Chain A
Amino acid sequence: MVKKSFRNIYTVLIFLFLYAPIIILIIYSFNESKSRGAFTGFTLKWYQDLFSNREVLKALSNTMIIAVVTTIVATTLGTLAAIGIHFSRKGPFKQMALNLNYLPILNPDVVIAVSLIALYRFMGLDFGLSTVLLSHITFCTPYVVLAVLPKLKQMNVHLAEAAMDLGAKPMYALRKVIIPEIMPGIVTGALLAFTLSVDDFAISFFTTGHGVQNLSILIFSMARRGINPVINALSTFMLIGFFILLLVINRIGRKEEEEIY
């Protein structure tokens, strides 16, 4: 059918658009020259350098740890918050909670960063891993809330009531009825949180300390001198890693296929 091939072409085009820069990135990880301006030859030296580059590896592990922890906390906090807000009656509490939630989304990065610095100084905190985590959770959770809320709105309002009428305790209704219904929203929220955390620069830069650098900070700070292709090599590995993760999730997810539909 014409329609089907049109869909397929469109899909391919969009994915091509998304992956074009990534492909370039990978190609240049094999570039003999340090500069992006010229491809002078094929080499594996950047990959070799990668394994002995302590700075890069440390930044990678920091980035991952921060991202995973942030995602877990933000998703939990945000999902619960969205549920709580959804079930509140319309009124000042609901309004206030929702509007407060929007604030980090509306504020430019730099402003959030600077205001958090002021807060941490006021609280007398030592800048380091903990302050970065707090900051990440703060700016990621609103997106989780935003992702889960539409799903709650979409959910049949009487579902939870029905469960409780049948004798389920609120917590049970929550776990077994509501959460499965809004799962796509939760997953979307988690994906958003992870994405935002992994790539954040401004907020991380200003709220970190004591040698806790994430990849973004490392890469941005290389900007003055030109980005070392070791980073390209690293990105290629990360990409492979994510694809492997995808395959792993596929294996696990096979059981739950029927449940989602």
Chain B
Amino acid sequence: MKKVAYPYVMWMVIFILVPLFLVVYFAFTTGDSKNYDTFTFSLDNFRRFLSPIYLEVMTRSLLLSVISTFICFILGYPIAYIIANKRSAKMRNNMILLFVIPMWMNFLLRTYAWLTILGKNGIINTFLNFLGFESLELLYNSGSVILGMVYNFLPFMVLPIYSVLVKMDRKLIEAAEDLGASRSTIFRRVIFPLSLPGVMTGFTMVFTPAVSTFIISNLLGGNKTTLIGNVIEQQFIYTGDWHFGSTMSIILMGIILLVMAITNKGGGDLEGGRGALW
């Protein structure tokens, strides 16, 4: 059985491990990014990162992504639950597909549409004014960035949770009912703990892109806050300093791994096996 995984493992070694080594190599060296001969071992870039400005950027990114992930969870779990509990399979499948289809529309277009909705003269404000209310400042602040993140990453939270909820062993729930447990107890003690693997997957799939995103903060945040994703992208695209960019990527990866390891410890052990993050 184990053998069926081999093709993918080989693939990963070539397409994931090797490029990773390259990134690590870049991170621990300095020199002219374009000329391999000039590389020398150095921890300078790590030191450079430890200055207040970059640490502040990193903290802000983490904070925003934690908030967004949490909101995705609060909003996403109920909808996953609702869809999973629909009686007809056709209804479930349709709803899930309908849920995902907006994500197949181009990301930039959808984000631009939010500008039209949230702007000073946008849809919401026009509506509020019509009702006699004052306009609200809905755009170009942390709130709109979080909205953008939640909007884009919600399906990644919902899908894994849904797929676990939908195939939950009904008999366990029936047994609990038979033993006299109330609906909320059943949820707290049976359903939710069993759905944790899906929740963990959802967290991972939302937190990671959220912490490294930069386009959403560019478009919806008016670029007034730099996130770590911006800084990394700037190194690769603008300054051409792949070394510093790689250093920050490695640091970012490390932090994500740390966060994941902590949350996994908290939630994953119930199943007697983790999704493995070190």
Per-residue interface assignment for chain B, residues 103 to 114, with 1 indicating a CB less than 8 Å from any chain A CB and 0 otherwise:
111111111111
* A-side contacts of B260, CB under 8 Å: 102
The answer for the CA separation of A214 and B268 in the assembled complex, in Å, is 38
* Chain A CB within 8 A of B221 CB: no
* Chain A CB within 8 A of B8 CB: yes
The answer to whether A14 touches B8, judged by C-beta atoms less than 8 angstroms apart, is no
Min distance, Cβ B134 to any Cβ of chain A, angstroms:
22
Contact A192-B159, Cβ < 8 Å, known A25-B105, A227-B109, A242-B104: yes
* Chain A CB within 8 A of B18 CB: yes
Min distance, Cβ A189 to any Cβ of chain B, angstroms:
9
The answer for the CA separation of A118 and B7 in the assembled complex, in Å, is 23
* Chain A CB within 8 A of B244 CB: no
* B-side contacts of A211, CB under 8 Å: none
Contact A14-B75, Cβ < 8 Å, known A84-B1, A116-B19, A150-B198: yes
* B-side contacts of A7, CB under 8 Å: 82
Per-residue interface assignment for chain B, residues 241 to 266, with 1 indicating a CB less than 8 Å from any chain A CB and 0 otherwise:
01001100100110011001000000
Min distance, Cβ A222 to any Cβ of chain B, angstroms:
9
The answer for the CA separation of A187 and B88 in the assembled complex, in Å, is 17
The answer for the CA separation of A18 and B6 in the assembled complex, in Å, is 39
The answer to whether B117 touches A80, judged by C-beta atoms less than 8 angstroms apart, is no
* A-side contacts of B114, CB under 8 Å: 21
Interface size class of B (residues with CB under 8 A): 35 or more
Q: What does DSSP make chain A's interface, helix, strand, loop or mixed?
A: helix
The answer to whether B99 touches A18, judged by C-beta atoms less than 8 angstroms apart, is yes
Min distance, Cβ B263 to any Cβ of chain A, angstroms:
13
Which of B83, B110, B257, B276 is most buried by chain A, counting CB atoms within 10 A of its CB? Answer: B276
Complex partner residue of A188 from B16, B113, B154, B162, CB under 8 angstroms: B162
Q: Which residues of chain A from 1 to 52 have any CB-CB distance to chain B below 8 Å in the complex?
A: 7, 10-11, 14-15, 17-22, 24-25, 28, 36
The answer for the CA separation of A78 and B197 in the assembled complex, in Å, is 18
Complex partner residue of B102 from A18, A116, A181, CB under 8 angstroms: A18
Contact A106-B257, Cβ < 8 Å, known A83-B1, A99-B276, A188-B163: yes
* Chain B CB within 8 A of A119 CB: yes
Q: What does DSSP make chain B's interface, helix, strand, loop or mixed?
A: helix
* B-side contacts of A106, CB under 8 Å: 208, 252-253, 256-257
| Shortest Cβ distance from A184 into B: residue | B163
The answer to whether A223 touches B108, judged by C-beta atoms less than 8 angstroms apart, is yes
Supplied contacts A78-B8, A103-B16, A154-B194, 12 more A-B pairs, CB within 8 Å: A7-B82, A10-B82, A11-B82, A80-B8, A81-B8, A84-B4, A134-B15, A147-B201, A150-B200, A160-B1, A192-B156, A246-B97
18 contacts between A and B (CB under 8 A): A17-B151, A18-B102, A36-B115, A87-B2, A88-B2, A93-B2, A110-B232, A110-B245, A111-B232, A119-B14, A154-B167, A170-B1, A188-B159, A191-B97, A191-B159, A250-B90, A253-B89, A257-B90
Query: Which 9 residue pairs across A and B have the least CB separation, nearest first?
Result: A84-B5, A115-B19, A21-B113, A81-B8, A98-B276, A150-B197, A108-B212, A87-B1, A24-B113
- Interface residues, chain A, with chain B CB atoms under 8 Å away: 7, 10-11, 14-15, 17-22, 24-25, 28, 36, 77-78, 80-85, 87-88, 90, 93-95, 97-112, 114-116, 118-119, 134, 137-138, 141, 143, 145-147, 149-151, 153-154, 160, 170, 174, 181, 184-185, 187-188, 191-192, 194-195, 198-199, 201, 215-216, 219-220, 223, 227, 231-232, 235, 238-239, 242-243, 246, 249-250, 253-254, 257, 260-261
